[in-house]
Chains A and B, each alone.
Chain A
Amino acid sequence: MTDRSREIPERAIPEGEYQPPDDIQDFLINIGPHHPGTHGVMRLVTRLDGEKVAGLDVRIGYMHRSLEKIVENRTYPQVIAFTDRTTDYLAAMHNDWVYCLAAEKLLGIVVPERAEFLRVIVAEMNRITSHLMSIGALGLDSGAPTYFLWCFNARERLVRLFEDICGARLTYVYMRLGGVIYDAPPGWLERVRETVRGVIDEFPSYRDLFHDNYIWHERSKGVSTLSPEEALRLGAQGPILRSTGYRWDLRKNMPYSIYERFEFDIPVGIKGDVYDRTEVRLAEIAESAKIIHQAIEGIPAGPILAARIPRVPSPAPGETYARLESPRGEIGCYLVSDGGMKPYRMKWRGASFHNVAMLPALSVGYTLSDLINIVGTIDPVMGDVDR
């Protein structure tokens, strides 16, 4: 091989003057749809100016599993098997719950007390597992895989409790029209209390490893800051909105089910950056633990499923909408019935759909490695985005 290191390039560079080549331009890079980030198949067509993101086009649809079309051909109880895995599968209880709320409104079913308490307990446990998964995955994406293992360890203990009550670890078809399908086994509530307390007791070590780590502070503080006005203009919701300082949570502001009976705070952040979003999620785990403790204290005895629900319910023609606060934001279910035994139209309002739509506005101007962190704190679940 000839030594070409001393060759003079064609365009001679005059001394003292640097002429950039004519063809320098923004670099178009395609991230995804499959990438080592743990947030599912999403394609980010990024225009980079050096290391900074100059433009971002989010392409989704790689996990589009035709939920709304399938549901038009299933009976009302059968839909629950779809809502917990086709949509946000990390918060399956919440998704089942919002569909059950909408269907119960249409059918006029009243849910018994014990079922409401059980719903709250499992939903808040699911919020804890979802947030643990979220911040663990954020640790993995940022380069702290040990934190990922710790969060998954804590998550495993809770997931085993889910397995005890409904037999499934991830996609529980636990909430049904009119209540829940299985009662808590003997001793389960006590074990829930202990496990949740154990997770909260580990928080000092989590802070020591990740959240108080100065490397994480350097990487996350000041990245993708958001003001409350801008967040409201963009339609932010969930932890993203709360991290900007705006205290809006559907459990307090538009309460559903029995959330008015519990005392809990809504943690808010200050600047709306990546650091604040992670802190808000961590604090929400503690608030969910409070709700679980109060629910276990106050759970009454009684039936867990409303009586006399037909096996194939056919509601009167009409439409309804139900919304609730899932770990990712606001989810909603718009159900239209034409009197038959199958929903005529179900529109799923997913939280991650809107969070991901906000991604270009949140990430332009920050570097590529920050983009991965921003995606992590938005915490999209592609099932919820694409349905």
Chain B
Amino acid sequence: MEVWEIADSGKNGAPANPNRAWIDRGVLVPLGRPEHREFGPLLVAPGVILQSAQHVISLARSHSLWQMMFGLACCAIEMMAANASNYDLDRFGVMPRGSPRQSDLLIVSGTVTYKVAPMVERVYHQMPEPRWVIAMGNCATAGSLYYHDGYSVVKGVDQVVPVDVYISGCPPRPEALIDCILELERIITGKEEAQRR
């Protein structure tokens, strides 16, 4: 893409500062240089943000994660407490939904047993993409204290579905779940800080 020139000129017939011309005039100029995409939104004119569609869509997705309530055990109580009014996940856009068809975040909270593992997988496959999975609590992360001698426990839900963020805790505090939602927001929008963890 080429850079369009400004037709108008400043005083004495010489062109005004070409770098500031479009801010003064409010004309949208596509820059087209690939390195501009990583600098975040560029204020091109009052009320206009220049950004890739992908970034805006990721912002929208990460700030309206509709959660599929998959509360299995004790962590479900803390998940409900996080959704309740004291720790209010609704201000992050997270709304608990009953149906997997309407949700894009699966919070597996509680122990996954061999009897319930096919249901977790089925619910995961019923969710439309893009979808993310949070393994909440020690049991969903790695099987927790049932790791040894627990013959009926799947040692971590990542044996069944791919997981994006793990939360440790038995059960984790609601603030840990909030931290995890924020971490997931960073992952979805592709911020560089998320990759360091």
Contact = CB atoms under 8 A, between A and B. Distances in A.
Interface of A: 33-36, 38, 40-41, 61-66, 69-70, 72-73, 81-82, 85-86, 89-90, 133, 148-149, 152-153, 155-156, 159, 169-171, 382-383
Given A61-B115, A64-B115, A66-B151, A133 B77 contact: yes
Given A89-B73, A89-B74, A171-B74, A66 B98 contact: no
Interface string B105-126: 0000011010110010001000
B149 A82 contact: no
B195 interface: no
B158 to A, nearest CB: 18
Interface residues of B, number: 33
A383 B110 CA distance: 10
Interface of B: 69-74, 76-78, 80-81, 84-86, 98, 110-111, 113, 115-116, 119, 123, 145-146, 148-153, 170-171, 173
B84 A63 contact: no
B116 A33 contact: yes
Enumerate the 5 nearest inter-chain pairs by beta-carbon distance, A residue then B residue, closest first: A36-B98, A152-B84, A89-B74, A62-B116, A70-B149
A382 B73 contact: yes
Q: Is chain A's binding surface mostly helix, strand, loop or mixed?
A: loop
Contact of B149 (A69, A149, A169, A382): A69
B149 A40 contact: no
A72 B80 CA distance: 33
Given A62-B115, A69-B151, A152-B86, A36 B69 contact: yes
Contact of A171 (B70, B84, B85, B171): B171
A203 B148 CA distance: 45
Contact of A70 (B74, B146, B170, B171): B146
A382 B73 CA distance: 7
Contact of A40 (B71, B84, B85): B71
Given A41-B72, A62-B113, A70-B146, A170 B77 contact: yes
Contacts of B78: 169-170
